[in-house]
Amino acid sequence: GHEEEVGEEYLFKIVLVGDSAVGKSNLLSRFARNEFDTNSKATIGVEFQTQVVEIDGKEVKAQIWDTAGQERFRAVTSAYYRGAVGALIVYDISRRTTFDSVKRWLDELSTHCDTTMGRMLVGNKCDLENIREVSVEEGKSLAEAEGLFFMETSALDATNVQTAFEIVIREIYNNIS
Ligand code: GDP
Ligand code: MG
């Protein structure tokens, strides 16, 4: 079993994947602490943060894992993925190369995780409309083709960050209950 049930409580491991500098660490700090870091270096040492969400009156603990920047070296280890029941696959709407990498991250997920995991494609930095390189439609249609939820977010101005995580958490919850 991937998800752990503790009495009436649930613990879901969710991983963040995507190219370097797409905003993974800032999505997590926005979600968990409502903070944004304009000059974020790789968050060394912090493996995951736990956030409690209430769904249908049940306490759900989302344990969200962030890379420590290993993605730069294509060296995200299998330990990172182990037991994950949800994933946010993040790209940067202002850098097309990060969108082109999404397929590779999906392959990586399907190698390491159960296909029934809750997955959301996240186009981050939607505040950068003036230098957008990937349209909303492109994001949507890739998500549809791959069977993923889709949302554009901004960790900078907090657009859809809470919602994106909560949709994934709810999907996992629905899958097991
Ligand atoms: P990671 O390598 O994927 O963890 O990316 P980071 O969270 O470290 O962010 C990389 C850079 O993008 C940092 O300079 C952030 O300040 C910036 N950044 C992250 N999210 C956003 C966003 O939503 N909008 C804008 N404009 N910049 C962002
Ligand atoms: Mg990071």
| Nearest ligand for residue 90 CA | 1
Query: Which pTM does this prediction carry?
Result: 0.93
Planar angle of CA 101, 108, 151, nearest 5 degrees: 55
User: What would the two tokens of residue 102 be?
Assistant: 């999404």
Residue of higher predicted confidence among 42 and 131? 131
Query: Which tokens sit at 161?
Result: 């960050």
16 within ligand 1 shell (Cβ under 6 A): no
Tell me the chain's radius of gyration from C-alpha atoms: 15
8 Cα–ligand 2 center, Å: 32
Whole-number mean pLDDT of the chain?
90
Residues in the 5 Å CB sphere of ion ligand 2: 24-25
Q: Which atom of ligand 1 is nearest to the CA of 41?
A: 8
What residues form DSSP beta bridges with 4? Answer: 11
How much is the average pLDDT of 49-62? 92
Residue 8's pLDDT band, with cuts at 50, 70 and 90, is: low
32 lines ligand 1 (CB under 6 A): no
- ipTM attached to this prediction: 0.99
Comparing CA positions, the residue from 22, 4, 31 lying closest to residue 163 is 31
